Amino acid sequence: MAPRRGGSSGGGRISVDNKCDDVGAFQDGHEIAVLVIYIFFMIYVFVVFFQWLKARKANDAAHSILRWYGFGLAIMFLNLGAILGLIFLILFRCTVMNYMEYLHGSIAVVIFRSLAEWLILFTIMSPMLNRLQVHVGRTSKLALYLSWASLSIIGILLVVYLIIRSYVASDWDNHVNGYWYISVAYQFLFFLCVIFITTNFAIIMSRMASRNMQLGSLKFWLPFLLVNLFIYSFISVFDAFYYTVADHDVTQTASVVFVALYSIFQCLILTSLLKSATSPALTTTASGATYGAVKQNQAPQMQQWENTSYQPQVPRQTQQTSWHGLGRQFAPA
């Protein structure tokens, strides 16, 4: 997003601070704005990281939805991308790093943030969708199969695009015609996945409401997550089509605006996903008992039935149905 500027990569004994002063770096409003966005985003993601660690220890739903290889890795990749992006931006603006070096380093930032984006989508489309479906007692295998198929196709497109982009950025003599269209296809499929997620979550929310199941904070945070995800994916599609397909020039102002929008909506998505996963509604059954209470109370009840000569059949069957429908699905990963 940064404007292309050349510069010497030689540092010698001159410090970065002196070189920044010599070239007048970060005196322009656009440069300062991007620097502030990077710092704010980095701090915010660090806060979300510690909130995630706390939530996983205290909440069973958060432990099963916000897994370390999904949400956890996404936060780590976003942080790495922000840290590297900030370092490369400072070195580039202070002419310690020339444009080609900045371009090579920026590939790492793109890779980390793209992988984080896919991992967030995976968290929503797989463990969270599965948790919500089982919560209402209507698991749709078709929806789960479509989720995994979509995630696989998007993942393949993303990996191919990142490999080709890294190859092209490694040397100006490397040319792969039309590789940007892979990015456009990825963003468009990402947008379709968001529509798919919104439809499924809307159906689940309506079932929960019709059965008078406790919604609590989930009633706000889940729609808020979907709205932010929709806006974020729409911006990505517009960015891809307008600046890639239509080949419009990116102005400094537009660059700052897009950096700000991406950062803001990524923060909102992280927060709303964390709040949705830790909602008490996902740790409570339709009858109002917590899943933990169901698991803890089941063993002594079954032992009591086994020690009596008369064992009522209807309550025993009801208890077994409840256990098989919940315990197996909600065991911590």
50-86 per-position pLDDT tens digit? 999 999 888 887 888 999 999 999 999 999 999 999 9
Residue 73 backbone phi and psi in degrees, to 5 = -65, -35
The domain ranges of the chain are 16-286
CATH topology (fold) of 16-286: Rhopdopsin 7-helix transmembrane proteins (1.20.1070)
C-alpha to C-alpha distances, 28 to 25, 35, 253, 256, 269, nearest whole angstrom:
8, 11, 12, 12, 30
What's the pLDDT at 172? 62
Distance CA 293, CA 331 (A): 14
Using 70 as the pLDDT threshold, list the residues of the chain that sit under it: 1-19, 21-24, 172-176, 284-333
Distance CA 7, CA 93 (A): 9
Distance CA 135, CA 282 (A): 7
What's the pLDDT at 21? 65
- The pTM for the full model equals 0.78
What's the pLDDT at 18? 61
What's the pLDDT at 168? 80
Distance CA 280, CA 2 (A): 43
What's the pLDDT at 99? 83
The pair of three-digit structure tokens given for residue 273, joined into one six-digit string: 């996903």
Q: Are 1 and 255 in contact (CB under 8 A)?
A: yes
Residue 284: half-sphere exposure toward Cβ, Cα within 13 Å:
16
Q: Are 74 and 119 in contact (CB under 8 A)?
A: yes
What is the CA angle 232-235-241, rounded to 5?
140
What's the pLDDT at 92? 86
Query: Buried b / exposed e across 124-159, counting CB within 10 Å, b at 16+?
Result: bbbbbbbbbbbbbeeeeeebbeebeebbeebbebbe
The pair of three-digit structure tokens given for residue 15, joined into one six-digit string: 């410090």
What's the pLDDT at 289? 44
